Amino acid sequence: MFKTFLWLLFLVITFATGYYFGERHSFVLPGQISEIPSELSSRTSNLEHTLKGIRLWMALNDSKDHLGLASSALEEKNFGSAVNEVREAKVKLEKAESLSQGELKKELKPLNQLILKTEADLAQMDPKAKYQVDSAKNRLEKIISK
C-alpha cells in the first residue's frame, strides 16, 4: 500500500512539475533549435569566404616568391631554373586568378599574360626576360599590398 502511495505521489509531482513549466514556457528549446541551421549556415559561409581569401593570398604570395627565385636564377645566368620558377609562378597565379573575382581578376589577367610571355622569352634565353620577371614581381607586389 505504501509503495502504491509513493508511485501515485511521484506521478502527481511529475505531472504538476510538467504542467507548471509548460505554462511558464521556460523551456524555449524548440525556438533555439530552429535557429541553429541558419546560424550554422551563416558561420559556414563566413568560414568559406575567409578560407577562400587565405587561399588567394597564399597563391599570390607563392607566385611572388617564385618570381623572386626566377629573378635570382637569372642573375646567376641559370635560365633553366628561371624557366621552372616562372612556370611555378604561372601555376600559382592561375590558381589565384580562379579564386579571385571582380577588380582583382581584371588586374591578374594581364599579369598572367605577361608571365606567359616571359616564360616564352626565357625559353629562348632572351636577355629582356630579367626585366619582365622584375616587372611582373613588382606588379604582383602592388596587387598584394592593396
| φ and ψ of 77, to 5 deg | 60, 30
Q: Is the pLDDT of residue 25 over 70?
A: no
Mean pLDDT over 101-107 rounds to: 89
Task: Give CATH for domain 44-145.
Answer: 1.20.120.660
Average pLDDT on 22-26 reads 69
Which residue type sits at 10? F
Given a cut of 90, whether residue 131 has pLDDT beyond it is: yes
CA 133, 123, 55 angle in degrees (round to 5)? 50
Residue closest to 87 by CA, chosen among 105, 104, 62: 62
Instruction: Name the DSSP class of 77.
Output: T
Using the predicted structure, report yes or no on whether residue 29 has a pLDDT greater than 80: no
Please tell me whether the overall predicted TM-score, pTM, comes out greater than 0.75 for this model. Answer: no
Instruction: Give the residue extent of every domain in the chain.
Output: 44-145
The pLDDT of residue 78 is above 80: yes
Residue type, 112: N
